[in-house]
Each structure stands twice: as structure tokens, then as C-alpha cells.
Amino acid sequence: MPTVHVQLFKGRTADQKRAAAVAITEAVVKTLGGNADTVDVIFHDIERHDWATGGVLWSDKAPAPHQAPKAP
Amino acid sequence: MPTVHVQLFKGRTADQKRAAAVAITEAVVKTLGGNADTVDVIFHDIERHDWATGGVLWSDKAPAPHQAPKAP
Amino acid sequence: MPTVHVQLFKGRTADQKRAAAVAITEAVVKTLGGNADTVDVIFHDIERHDWATGGVLWSDKAPAPHQAPKAP
Amino acid sequence: MPTVHVQLFKGRTADQKRAAAVAITEAVVKTLGGNADTVDVIFHDIERHDWATGGVLWSDKAPAPHQAPKAP
Amino acid sequence: MPTVHVQLFKGRTADQKRAAAVAITEAVVKTLGGNADTVDVIFHDIERHDWATGGVLWSDKAPAPHQAPKAP
Amino acid sequence: MPTVHVQLFKGRTADQKRAAAVAITEAVVKTLGGNADTVDVIFHDIERHDWATGGVLWSDKAPAPHQAPKAP
């Protein structure tokens, strides 16, 4: 507590999630108070074919040219 | 995207949430990548009488002596 | 952990939630194992005008005759 | 079932939600199959000070000039 | 925003989800207002052995005779 | 309705979930009222590398000596 749920595109590495868990926990404690031991962070991987924005699944969107696609 | 849901005890001020939104968004971008503009953070206030740990509602728990209660 | 979220119609008393927190925690520990202290139960009150079944808001449904309405 | 959760800014009228429940239920049945009676739609009102995009709470964002603000 | 979460039985095809994303987005914009580009739809596949109604997992329910089972 | 979502570590058997669905449904009906047929229980398996407490992923935690690890 607090409990933080992160919905994101599938594909992040374990190291990215490991770092995110630390950084989000620190951000929560620093701004909302409480003890880090009571903070839960849960990652929910979402497939690109399961997330639509503007009615279009992300698996159907063309990546933007000359840049990494901005993805959830 | 990513979308971050924060479940926490009711009672934080607008300033605390304002600071948490900034800090969590930075933590997410720094560790998971992407663009800050695509990060949503949603706060869900939970009343102490709506959250139980170990079968006991937090509204029924005695605060720990000599310290602020650790709360979600 | 496990964390149990209960979505229900607004209107239950604190005593009902208190009893539900105990009973659900016991049910979880008995069948899934683990320690009661690690079980969180969170209640989410939903207004009858915010829940539809079959496309009809529950605030618009006529109560069944001769019986208490079955409500979430 | 399916169960549809709609997270939106607080402020829609009961008539808007009533119409949305009908339209979403029809959209689900038409595209995913099944029986309308098994579809639940649940609305979750979110305050503008509880939703941030790009690290900024929507209650702090200036409305766009000459147009209605695009809001969740 | 709004963000729509659809919990449904695993097994729908990509085409069904593609059509559902369009239809749900249209339903939301038409009834709740706003811009289609701000609407997210996220599908959450649930296995039949992870969803119980009346205390019985759907993987344990006998299909109704002479009709397709009504499933989430 | 009510709808109960259980977030737990991946690894429970079908028999454990079957028993949990029965026990949780009974607990809900007994304490909150209503009809068992209107109670949904949905299990959400979470991988140990997707759940952090105190900023540490459970896949990185050393099991406690001489006892089964307490896990979500």
C-alpha cells in the first residue's frame, strides 16, 4: 500500500521492470509518504493486438518513420 | 501509455498527487522508455473502511504507537 | 497478497464489509494457502446508475416482485 | 460477460451513461458475439484532479482555445 | 480517454477484436462525446478456468444443449 | 455481481482455484447477501517477476529459511 498497477506493452525486459519497480516505489514514498515496504508494484503486460487507440489496434499501426514507435 | 493506476488511502492533498504524478511519470519514462506525453497516471482513493489487510479493515486498526500509521 | 478486489453495489454497511473481509480472507487462505497477514481485500462501491447489465442501468430496473432485488 | 469497465471524467449525465450502456452493449454483442443479457458495463468516474497525462493533472491543464477540451 | 477495459473469454480472433475496438470507440464517442483519438480500448483475455459464476469455473460447466454456450 | 477479482501468483492448480471459487462465493453470499448465481470470481495470475514489494521483484527475493515463502 499504496498499490501501483502498470499497464504496458509486452516486451520490456526483466531488468527494465526491476529498475521501474525501484524508481516507482521511490517516487511514491517521496511524494505520498509511507514506508517503501508497504508499496506494491504490479506490471500487466498487454499485447499490441489487445490495445487500441482511436479504434486502431497498435499491432495494425505503422511505426512512425525515423523514430522508435511511442508505445504503451 | 503506459497507464499507471495508484490505489491509495483517501486523504492525500492535491499537491501530493500533483508531485506524485510528475515523479511517477519521470520514473516510468526513465526506466521503461517512451514519451512522457503518453503516460497516464490515475489515482484511486480508497477509504480506510474499504481496505482490509489480514482480514481487518484499516479503519479498525489501532495506529502504531509513536509513529504515523503506515497506510496505503 | 493475494489481493482481492470486490466490486459491489453501494449500500452495504461497515459491519457487512467487516464480516466479508474476514470471511473472504479465510476462504483465500484455506484454499490458496499463504498467510492471512498477506491478504488484502479492497471494496469498490459502485452506484446503481453506474452498472448496467444487458444494456440497462440497475437504477432503471424494476425490482422483482415479492423479493429483494438481486444486486451486485 | 464480457464485462466492460469504462474509466471516464466525472461529469457525464445519467442520460449519457444510459445511452453509452446501450451502445457499448450493442457494439460488444455485434462484434464479439454472445447474448446482451450477459454483458455488464460499469462506469468509473475519475475526478480531473485524479488523472494526469504527461505528468500534469487535468485539473491543472488550460482548456484549448476555441474548442471543447478533449477529456477522458 | 475514456479508457475502456474489456474482460472476455480467451478465444476471440484478432478480427473480432479489431471490429470490437472500432465499434466500442464509436459507441463511446457518440454517447459520451470527445475525440476518438483519445479513446483507448484494452482487451483482457480470461481463461475459462479462471472465471467462475455461481462458484463454478466455466471450464467445468456443461455447454447448454442445442446452442452455443453464452460466454464472457 | 458482486464481482470478485483475485490477483495472485501464478502456479496455483485448477483444483485450488476451483475450491477458492466455491469458498469465496460462499463467503460473499453469507456476508453481503444476494444470490450465489450472481457472483463472479475472476482469477488473475501474476508472474513473480511482475510483482514487486518494497521495490524488489518477488522473483529476486530469497525464500525465507525453514518455511514456505509467503507469496501473493
More confident residue, F13 or D64: F13
Identify the segments of chain C with pLDDT beneath 50: 67-69
Residues of E in contact with B40 (CB under 8 A): 1, 3
Pairing of strands E40-46, E3-9: parallel
Checking if the pLDDT of B67 tops 50, the result is: no
pLDDT at A49 over 90: yes
Residue E19 has pLDDT above 70, yes or no: yes
Cβ atoms < 10 Å from Cβ of D33: 14
Q: What is the pLDDT of residue E24?
A: 98
Give CATH for domain D3-52. 3.30.429.10
pLDDT tens per residue, chain D (72 residues)?
799 999 999 999 999 999 999 999 999 999 999 899 999 999 999 999 999 999 999 999 987 655 444 556
Taking 50 as the threshold, does the pLDDT of residue F67 lie above it?
Answer: no
- Run of H or E residues at B27: helix B14-32
What is the domain partition of chain F in residue ranges? 3-52
User: What whole-number distance in Å separates Cα of residue C27 and Cα of residue C24?
Assistant: 5
Q: What is the ipTM of this complex?
A: 0.87
Instruction: Look at E65 and E56; give whichever has higher pLDDT.
Output: E56
Q: What pLDDT digit, counting tens, does each position of F38-56 carry? A: 999 999 999 999 999 999 9
Q: Find, among D65, D70, D68, the residue nearest to D9 by Cα.
A: D70
φ/ψ of C27, rounded to 5, equals -65, -40
User: With an 8 Å Cβ cutoff, are D52 and B41 in contact?
Assistant: yes
Sheet with C51-53, side-by-side order of all strands: A56-57, A51-53, E40-46, E3-9, D3-9, D40-46, C51-53, C56-57
C-chain residues within 8 Å CB-CB of F30? 23
pLDDT digits (tens, 9 = 90+) for B32-53: 998 999 999 999 999 999 999 9
pLDDT band at E63 (very low <50, low <70, confident <90, very high): confident
Which residues of chain C approach chain B closer than 8 Å at the C-beta?
Answer: 14, 17-18, 21-22, 25-26, 36-45
Is C2 a catalytic site residue?
A: yes
